Structure 1
Amino acid sequence: MKSKLFLLLGLSIFILSCSSDDSSDNGDPATSLPIISGNYWTYDVFNHETANTPASFARDSVYVGNDTLINTVTFKKIKTLTIANGFYSGTLKDNGLRIDGNKMRISGSVNFSAGLPAALTFSVSDFIVLKENASIGEELSSTTGSFTQDFNSTPLTFYYSLRSVADGSQNSLASSGNNYSDITKTKVILNLRITADFGLPITVMPAQDVLVSTQYYSKNIGMVYNLTNINYTLSTLPAGYQLPIPQTGSQTQEEFLDVYQVN
């Protein structure tokens, strides 16, 4: 049950229609992720659920496929060889990426069951996930809204605020035995408030940042390291009301670039 909630929190970041940021910026073209057909990246994915248990391990392989039209705009379709285990790979799988000046935007949709009573539908539209030479703390995209999803036959309503924020740059990064240079950092932050319908709405989780994904991009290589933290604390429910979810939860996921090919 705990893993179901983590999946729901981590992936609900895309159960929405993201607002497009139409602001223009004539900076240098984005080069932190070379979106060219045939380019690929393989990641080692480690999930840490508790400090006292070994991290689980998986491998993801992400590659750039064909051109695809989304709302009459040309994107590159991003694919994975198998299921996506990591947060980064999962948010790219079967979606479209495009370079818009010094920005990278994502659009697309995917269905995912996550072991829940009903499939989840993910939709994104021109959401900015990266901007070259942005000021640290600069908000790149944001959107708010709500959606309702049954969880073990109990309707849960999620009130979300999703932001992408520039996290500055650094000259180098040592990661998994490799050294990368010219690093651009970006953060994706999901704030959630959740209510449950027990015949009347009850707040089961007050508004809080439940997911923070910090992504490190190396110029002309791509995303080389991603740290995703998921943390939540539920409200104390009135007597007679309960959900089969732990009161608190914490999970850390790391994705390390292993092998890659870029042109």
Structure 2
Amino acid sequence: MKLKFILAIAFVSTLFSCSSDDSNGNTPENDTTYLPLKTGNYWTYDVNGENVAERDSLYISKDTVINSKDYKRFETLNQPFGFFSNSLNKNGVRVSGNSVLLSGTAGLNLGDVFPIDLTLNDFVVFKENASNGEQLSSVSGIIEQDYQGYPLKLEYTMKSTSVESLPSFTSPNNDVYTDVKKVKTILNLKISSTVTIQGVPFPLVITIMNPQDVVVSYQYYAKNIGMVYANTTINYELQDLSSYGVTLPIPLTGSQLQEEFLDTYSID
């Protein structure tokens, strides 16, 4: 089954991203050598996965302002396929101290048919001096949306964690990088709905998906380059409600492994 992780595009349920495309003339004061934030910097990635062999071109387009703070706006030349390029596309990134913060919209599309989106505000995607195993950021919330007649309640938690620092790292495509830091990002999700079951005189609240880590992604950042390799697994399993006469409009299970390999880059 083909599964895409899609970020920062139009979704069925609209949440507000508090970003602006206009700069106030100021630029972010700080920078980090593990994700150099200069306008014009770009990275291209080969994206491999089930039924996917694509290429993403990610670049920093300009300065932008979100909640009166200065960010760098990331964009891609075309609709991206990879987790990392998707997560930055059309969003703002800034540095505060040794942390890289992301603000904007993020979304997950289960089975190419069921969209979920959420808003991130200064979510820490990377911290240069983090210790191994240190949690960098955590955000939880509830999204309520209607999908094909089902009123859904989505309870989510997204976390980022510093995994380890590597003096040397060899990517699965045999590219070698020095001074690399590994970060883990997890999205945990629970879905419930109110449904009418034959023979029951009142609506019932049922769990469609028990809490589970639907996205687990590892990103590798190399000093003076940026993100050089990402390994992302997307898995979900819904409850089989057929015995209640409820047929869900999406596949009960889905799984995908995706890899992103840095190909070319230009850093100022």
Q: Which deviates more, 191-200 or 120-129?
A: 120-129
Match of 2:215 among 211, 215, 219: 211
The 3-state SS of whatever aligns with 2:249 is coil
Listed one character per residue, the Cα deviations across residues 149-168 of structure 1 (whole Å, up to 9, x for unaligned) are: 33333222211111111111
Q: Give the AA of the match of 1:132.
A: E
TM-score (norm 2): 0.81
Match of 2:189 among 192, 195, 213: 192
* Contact 2:8/2:107, CA 8 A, preserved across alignment: no
Instruction: List aligned pairs for 1:129-144, cutoff 5 A.
Output: 129-144=125-140
Instruction: List aligned pairs for 1:22-101, cutoff 5 A.
Output: 30-48=32-50, 55-101=51-97
| Structure 2: gaps (5+ residues) | 18-29, 196-202
The residue number in structure 2 matching 1:25 is none
What is the rounded CA distance, in whole Å, between the counterparts of 1:232 and 1:193 in structure 2?
10
What is the rounded CA distance, in whole Å, between the counterparts of 1:172 and 1:106 in structure 2?
27
TM-score (norm 1): 0.82
The residue number in structure 1 matching 2:199 is none
**Based on CA coordinates, which of the two structures has the bigger radius of gyration?**
2
Cα drift, residue 257 of structure 1? 0.4
Cα drift, residue 10 of structure 1? 11
Q: Give the AA of the match of 2:240.
A: T
Cα drift, residue 123 of structure 1? 2.4
The residue number in structure 2 matching 1:228 is 232
The residue number in structure 1 matching 2:256 is 251
Cα drift, residue 173 of structure 1? 1.7
Q: Give the direction of change, closer, same or farther, for the CA distance of 1:92–1:9 in structure 2 (3 Å limit).
A: closer
| Structure 1: gaps (5+ residues) | 19-27, 49-54
Cα drift, residue 116 of structure 1? 5.1
Match of 1:260 among 260, 265, 268: 265
Cα drift, residue 57 of structure 1? 0.6
Instruction: List aligned pairs for 1:132-171, cutoff 5 A.
Output: 132-171=128-167
Listed one character per residue, the Cα deviations across residues 72-116 of structure 1 (whole Å, up to 9, x for unaligned) are: 111011111111111111110111111111100011247999965
Cα drift, residue 248 of structure 1? 2.4
Q: Give the direction of change, closer, same or farther, for the CA distance of 1:217–1:17 in structure 2 (3 Å limit).
A: farther
Q: Give the direction of change, closer, same or farther, for the CA distance of 1:109–1:191 in structure 2 (3 Å limit).
A: closer
The 3-state SS of whatever aligns with 2:250 is coil
* Contact 2:99/2:128, CA 8 A, preserved across alignment: yes
What is the rounded CA distance, in whole Å, between the counterparts of 1:71 and 1:9 in structure 2?
21
The residue number in structure 2 matching 1:105 is 101
Cα drift, residue 30 of structure 1? 3.1
* Contact 2:8/2:105, CA 8 A, preserved across alignment: no
What is the rounded CA distance, in whole Å, between the counterparts of 1:84 and 1:203 in structure 2?
32
Q: Give the AA of the match of 2:253.
A: T
Q: Give the direction of change, closer, same or farther, for the CA distance of 1:9–1:235 in structure 2 (3 Å limit).
A: farther
Aligned alpha-carbon RMSD (Å): 3.0
What is the rounded CA distance, in whole Å, between the counterparts of 1:110 and 1:143 in structure 2?
12
Deviating beyond 6 angstroms after TM superposition, the runs of 4 or more aligned structure 1 residues are 8-12, 15-18, 110-115
The 3-state SS of whatever aligns with 1:37 is coil
Q: Give the AA of the match of 2:177.
A: Y
The 3-state SS of whatever aligns with 2:244 is coil
* Contact 1:94/1:110, CA 8 A, preserved across alignment: no
Q: Give the AA of the match of 2:234.
A: I
Q: Give the direction of change, closer, same or farther, for the CA distance of 1:247–1:112 in structure 2 (3 Å limit).
A: closer
The 3-state SS of whatever aligns with 1:90 is helix
**Is residue 235 of structure 2 the alignment partner of residue 239 of structure 1?**
no
* Contact 1:17/1:125, CA 8 A, preserved across alignment: no
* Contact 1:10/1:211, CA 8 A, preserved across alignment: no
* Contact 1:193/1:207, CA 8 A, preserved across alignment: yes
